[in-house]
């Protein structure tokens, strides 16, 4: 029996186990939407209010469920609106498949209405892309797309389909066998490298583990915990590595990076052996490369061979899946103590507690501080919620003060730093986990206004998503840099906002605003107790700065605990 190309697309999606799609219809993708109507009870379509939210939603879904996310859009502006989110997914290694409609193949290259060369535009931002003009290609192309998206280092794939390929009839033939290609190569563990790594770790006096996002992408959390406990290794996390290791464990020493914890940064540079797992040594982690890990032997476990030796030269480079490499390493690791080394972490951390943490979490006067809010949320959720943060000061505060105790529970835009990410990504995460887990979006007043229209999706889908807006009336991170490095010339960073409470209520979402410290705890209780989506706006200190901080271009050894007089 012959079916249309559009019906073949839907069939291919179902074959891959897809049960949820984020999208927005339009002319060039309309035949596929007609086919989706036939399967509306089997494929849940989330109608976003902007295509950028479709890709962010698919990313949030993928990160929360560890499945492949799917976004769909029409040609022209519909497709180009996906590009920022595709680039975001690529740098953060998120498996998503994007489907875009395209003009009739006979019109390609004629500048037809809503024609855009999305294949050419997305080459640098995708792991693979392909344009279908023949419907008979659909089964194999879709199988290949999903395998590429989730294999090796995950990433985004885009399939562009002309309108005539969607409407033409074809005989559907299931794609057979495995799809071959450079994207699907799975490296074999080199046991010689494993033995070299174990020797370095066993002889180390000041070892440290740097846990990146790849730990969670490979499901290596339990393996990492077992390794760390066996050798008593201090563990620190990158921004996207947060929630790969339990916050309250004695071996957890904090977050690395520009706004990371003081002890984690300073003592990382004093380690003699560094085990880096599933991370790429980006500039926000390393600071000044010439002064980074100069005294250490470096072991780098990484699934993407191009990342090994790219930024930091490894003494032992292990091109492997993180879980497989750690599991191979554990039998060769000796039990250790490192008591003196752990005491150094405690001593250095006490400096941050005295200079920063005590005042931020327990202020005795003044406006509410962002850290107060996050600390209370962490306490009241026992560190078990999924936190989806936007980009800016609040992102760093959420990363620093939420005590993640469950796995794979931190979702944020890391490498690209995409403002407007949190609300649609949180929607995607909530769709993915349902009522099994609390999902809380933490957003600044600036980033919220980039995609606030997605509030409509909450009511339409009857989601129970919790939103916290930390409103300081500034584009806070930029303002902080202007204060510290541009002599307090606040150029276009003070931002006015609508009444967020009335706005939420217009979308039929319960909301309240808090500006007094004595009302904060009760307001958070009401947020968490709500049976439907709820928005809490907290008016926080307007010109609060986020410390510790590594000034751009400086060594992580020069982590600052405050403004130097």
Owner of token pair 């400096």? 351
- CA-CA distance, 395 to 120, in Å (whole number)? 33
β partners of residue 197: none
Structure tokens at 138: 């659909």
Q: Strand 169-171 to strand 44-47: parallel, antiparallel, or no bridges (unpaired)? A: unpaired
Could you tell me the two tokens for 144? 């290949």
Residue of 64, 382, 406, 411 whose CA lies nearest to 245:
406
Assess whether 114 carries a catalytic annotation.
Answer: yes
**2, 38, 113, 505: which one is catalytic?**
113
**Known active-site residue 405:** no
Report how far apart, in Å, the C-alpha atoms of 451 and of each of 57, 211, 404 are: 12, 31, 26
Whether the ω angle into residue 113 lies within 30 degrees of 0, i.e. cis, is: no
CA 340 to chain centre: 35
Structure tokens at 222: 């339990």
- Range 521-543 burial, b when 16+ CB lie within 10 A, else e: eebbeebbebeebbbbbbbbbee
From the candidates 258, 396, 450, 477, which is the catalytic residue? 477
Q: Which two tokens stand for residue 58?
A: 């698919």
Instruction: Tell me how far CA of residue 185 lies from CA of 68, 72, 305, 318, 554, in angstroms.
Output: 19, 28, 11, 15, 38
Three-state SS sequence of 480-492: HHHHHHCCCCCCC
Sheet hosting strand 235-237, strand order edge to edge: 252-255, 235-237, 207-211, 273-277, 297-302, 316-319
User: Please, are residues 151 and 179 in contact by the beta-carbon 8 Å criterion?
Assistant: no
Rg of the chain's alpha carbons, rounded to an integer?
24
Rounded-to-integer distance, Cα 536 and Cα 353, Å: 28
- Please state the φ and ψ torsions of residue 294, each to the nearest 5 degrees: -70, -20
Selecting among 16, 51, 115, 147, the annotated active-site residue is 51
Distance CA 279, CA 215 (A): 8
- Host H or E run for residue 146: helix 138-150
The answer to whether 404 is a known catalytic residue is: no
Helices of type H across 269-381: 283-286, 322-329, 339-352, 358-361, 370-381
Q: What are the CA-CA distances from residue 157 to residues 27, 141, 399, 429, 510 (Å)?
A: 22, 11, 29, 20, 37
Q: What are phi and psi of 255, to 5 degrees?
A: -105, 140
- Distance from C-alpha of 558 to C-alpha of 551, rounded to nearest angstrom: 8
Cβ atoms within 10 A of the Cβ of 121, count?
17
List C-alpha distances in Å: 161 to 28, 158, 274.
9, 10, 47
Smallest Cα–Cα separation from 233: which of 271, 285, 259?
271
Q: Which residues pair with 180 in a beta bridge?
A: none
Whether 398 contacts 389, CB under 8 Å: yes
Residues involved in catalysis: 51, 113-114, 163, 477
């Amino acid at each position: 029996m012959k079916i249309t190309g559009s019906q073949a697309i839907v069939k291919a999606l179902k074959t891959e186990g897809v049960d949820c799609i984020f999208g927005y219809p339009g002319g060039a993708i309309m035949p596929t939407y007609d086919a989706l109507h036939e399967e509306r009870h089997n494929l849940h379509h989330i109608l976003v209010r902007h295509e950028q939210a479709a890709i962010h939603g698919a990313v949030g879904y993928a990160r929360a469920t560890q499945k492949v996310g799917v976004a769909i859009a029409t040609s022209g502006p519909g497709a180009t609106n996906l590009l920022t989110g595709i680039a975001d997914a690529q740098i953060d290694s998120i498996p998503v498949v994007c489907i875009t409609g395209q003009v009739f193949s006979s019109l390609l290259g004629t500048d037809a209405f809503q024609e855009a060369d999305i294949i050419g535009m997305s080459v640098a931002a995708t792991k693979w892309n392909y344009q279908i003009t023949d419907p008979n290609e659909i089964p194999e192309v879709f199988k290949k797309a999903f395998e590429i998206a989730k294999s090796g280092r995950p990433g985004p794939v885009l399939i562009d389909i002309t309108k005539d390929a969607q409407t033409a009839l074809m005989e559907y033939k299931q794609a057979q066998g495995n799809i071959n290609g450079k994207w699907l190569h799975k490296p074999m563990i080199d046991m010689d490298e494993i033995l070299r790594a174990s020797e370095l770790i066993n002889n180390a006096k000041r070892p440290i583990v740097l846990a990146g996002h790849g730990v969670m992408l490979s499901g290596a959390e339990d393996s990492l915990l077992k390794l760390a406990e066996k050798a008593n290794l201090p563990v620190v996390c990158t921004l996207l590595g947060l929630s790969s290791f339990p916050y309250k464990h004695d071996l957890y020493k904090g977050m690395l990076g520009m706004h990371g914890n003081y002890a984690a940064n300073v003592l990382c540079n004093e380690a003699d052996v560094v085990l880096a797992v599933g991370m790429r040594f980006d500039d926000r982690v390393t600071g000044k490369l010439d002064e980074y890990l100069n005294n250490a032997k470096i072991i780098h476990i990484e699934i993407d061979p191009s990342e090994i030796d790219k930024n930091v030269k490894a003494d032992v480079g292990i091109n492997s899946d993180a879980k497989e490499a750690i599991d191979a390493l554990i039998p060769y690791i000796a039990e250790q103590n490192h008591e003196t080394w752990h005491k150094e972490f405690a001593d250095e951390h006490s400096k941050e507690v005295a200079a920063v943490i005590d005042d931020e979490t327990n202020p005795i006067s003044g406006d509410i501080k962002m850290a107060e809010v996050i600390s209370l949320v962490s306490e009241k959720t026992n560190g078990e919620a999924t936190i989806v943060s936007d980009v800016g000061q609040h992102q760093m505060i959420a990363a620093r003060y939420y005590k993640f105790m469950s796995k794979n529970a931190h979702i944020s835009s890391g490498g690209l730093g995409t403002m407007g990410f949190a609300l649609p990504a949180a929607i995607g995460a909530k769709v993915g986990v349902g009522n099994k887990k609390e999902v809380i979006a933490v957003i600044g007043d600036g980033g919220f206004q980039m995609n606030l229209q997605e509030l409509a999706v909450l009511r339409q889908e009857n989601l129970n998503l919790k939103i916290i807006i930390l409103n300081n009336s500034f584009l806070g991170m930029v303002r902080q840099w202007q204060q510290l490095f541009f002599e307090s010339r606040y150029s276009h960073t003070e931002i006015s906002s609508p009444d967020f409470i009335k706005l939420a209520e217009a979308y039929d979402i319960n909301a309240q605003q808090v500006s007094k410290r004595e009302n904060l705890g009760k307001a958070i209780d009401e947020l968490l107790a709500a049976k439907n989506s709820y928005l809490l706006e907290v008016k926080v200190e307007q010109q609060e700065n986020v410390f510790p901080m590594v000034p751009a271009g400086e060594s992580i050894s020069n982590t600052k605990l405050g403004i130097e007089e």
